[in-house]
Amino acid sequence: MGTLAEGDGGDVRVSRAFAGLGPWVVAWAVLSVVGSWVQLGLWGGSTHLDGLLSTQAGRAIANLVALPTQAFNTALMILLHMRADRSAVLIVSSVVIGWACVLFGLRTLLRVWVRVRSVLVGAGPSVVRERHAVVERGGPAIPSRRAFLLDGPLVIGGAAGGLVGAHSVVVAPFDLRIERYTVGVRDLARGLEGMRLVQISDTHLGPHVPPEFVARVVRESIALRPDVFVLTGDYVHRGTDCNARAAALFAPLVETGRPVIGVLGNHDWYGDGRDMKRQLSGVGVRMVDNDRVFIDAATRGMWDRAPAAGVCIAGLGDFGRDTMDIEAAFRDVPEEMPRIVLQHQPDAVETRAFVEGPRMDVIFAGHTHGGQIRLPLIGAPVTLSRYGQKYASGLAQGPRCPVVVSRGIGMSFLPVRIGVRPEVVEVTLTRM
């Protein structure tokens, strides 16, 4: 008898543990299938969702579906030193395990909350008797005031959190801003007073950013009618599948007849930097990784040789994935000529090569994406810069000269932006 009773107790405990699991298992199965389908479309180079995912709205919804497992996916990639965009097994397993973790965590939190709530709501016997009496007389069930005070903030907080989360994935990443700065430059030729440069950085065409959004960025940049367009790297997110498509998206800049000058970023090198450079050069972008060009003061056209009066635009190879050849970048540049420098990663400006190198007047960088998440009072918790908030975004003062750090267009790691909108930067040069 004793054994049977113990067995019964064990069965009860087991059945309690599994009680109510059905809807969670169904949700997990549905989300795993839909999530895998979307993730394979985003990362796997599959074309089954190509039409939908190339639009801004379609990609925003796909990013929302992908978000709960993206962190898990990224962690697996880092731990296993693998490229998720090449491994369908990794993509599907990260979705399946990721959703299981999310739903199990949510269920556990709800169960804990139900227990805590039952302890906190527990009212005195007289109150309970009074409520029972009302119900027995045929009146409506009276909700406990304490329960209402506990549930109210939880429901409001949950709804607010959900709205902020959805906004940070669906709206904010595509809410493009134009940021304007004026920078004083020594020895700037009279003919270049008021010269305007428009910078596009970190478009990250790929799993999180659709071509439609990059095309819109290019259109809005052209509408600013600058003298020069500068591109500071990370044209694609990973791999080489998007290289040609990414380059083609910049062709309308070249068709304006104005100089379009660029350098590569670390993400371009994760795939094939040489191919990315070739593709961009092919559409007419002048790539200046460890090279330079000149803008003539008289015509504001682009020259390969130093004009009598003008400005040099030099580029340096990516600080993390390429070499920086300062000598090659400033080859044959007259000492008195102002130099604008393109370098993907802002931390490079603190290196000896920059600090003890030749004259530089203003540096354009990207890479940080402004941290993608910026909180009141503390700023961006993660900046991808060793110098914290200094080069997170905006116009900073480097050791040698001002540094313009773009918040960029696209996203890395998670498809999220909070308090850090994507931006096109316009810089006006003025004589000082």
The answer to whether the beta carbons of residues 308 and 330 sit under 8 Å apart is no
Residues 205 and 214: beta-carbon distance below 8 Å: yes
* Beta carbon of residue 411, minimum distance to Fe ion (angstroms, whole number): 8
Q: Which residues pair with 185 in a beta bridge?
A: 431
From the list 83-91, 114-122, 194-202, 268-276, the region that binds Fe ion by CB under 5 A is 194-202
| CB 228, CB 295: distance < 8 Å | yes
Residue number with CB closer to Fe ion (188 or 384):
384
Near Fe ion by CB under 5 A: residue from 85, 202, 318, 350? 202
Asked if 279 contacts 244 with a C-beta cutoff of 8 angstroms, the reply is yes
Span interacting with Fe ion, options 11-19, 232-240, 251-259, 304-312, rule CB under 5 A: 232-240
We find the least distance from the C-beta atom of residue 22 to Fe ion, in angstroms, to be 43
Comparing CA positions, the residue from 23, 25, 22 lying closest to residue 33 is 25
Evaluated on CA atoms 393, 314, 228, 360, the torsion sign reads: positive
| Stretch of 101-109, 188-196, 199-207, 300-308 lying at the interface with Fe ion (CB under 5 A) | 199-207
Q: Which is nearer to Fe ion, 24 or 413 (CB)?
A: 413
- Residue 391 Cβ, how far from Fe ion at the closest point, in Å? 13
Q: Which residues pair with 340 in a beta bridge?
A: 313, 362
* Angle at 93 (CA atoms; ends 89, 99), nearest 5 degrees: 155
For Fe ion, which residue of 185, 199, 234, 362 counts as binding (CB under 5 A)?
234
Q: C-alpha 211: how far from its chain's center?
A: 15
Token couple for 207: 């799993």
Find the shortest distance in angstroms from Cβ 307 to Fe ion: 33
DSSP-derived letter for residue 171 is I
Question: Which of these segments, 94-102, 195-203, 251-259, 282-290, binds Fe ion (CB under 5 A)?
Answer: 195-203
To Fe ion, the closest distance from the beta carbon of 169 in angstroms equals 18
Considering only 28-36, 69-77, 201-209, 252-260, which stretch makes contact with Fe ion by CB under 5 A?
201-209
3-class SS at 13? helix
| Least Å from the CB of residue 300 to Fe ion | 29
Interface size with Fe ion, residues (CB under 5 A): 2
DSSP letter, residue 405 = E
Is the CB of 234 or the CB of 347 nearer to Fe ion? 234
Q: Is 318 in the site for Fe ion (CB under 5 A)?
A: no
Closer to Fe ion by CB, 268 or 296: give it: 268
Shortest CB 369 distance to Fe ion, Å: 6
Task: Tell me, residue by residue from 347 to 386, as one string, x for binding to Fe ion by CB under 5 A and - for no binding.
Answer: ----------------------------------------
Tokens of 303: 């020259």
Q: Which two tokens stand for residue 13?
A: 């405990």
Q: How far is the CB of 414 from Fe ion (least distance, A)?
A: 13
What's the CA gap between 315 and 164, in Å, rounded? Answer: 39
Residue 57 token pair:
């709205």
> Candidates 110-118, 135-143, 230-238, 305-313 — which segment interacts with Fe ion by CB under 5 A?
230-238
CB atoms within 10 A of CB 102: 18
Alpha-carbon span 285 to 230, nearest angstrom: 9
Per-residue x/- track, 210-229, Fe ion (CB under 5 A) = --------------------
CB closer to Fe ion out of 43 and 330 = 43
Nearest CB to Fe ion, comparing residues 32 and 279: 279
In three-state secondary structure terms, 172 is helix
Contact positions toward Fe ion, by CB under 5 A?
A: 202, 234
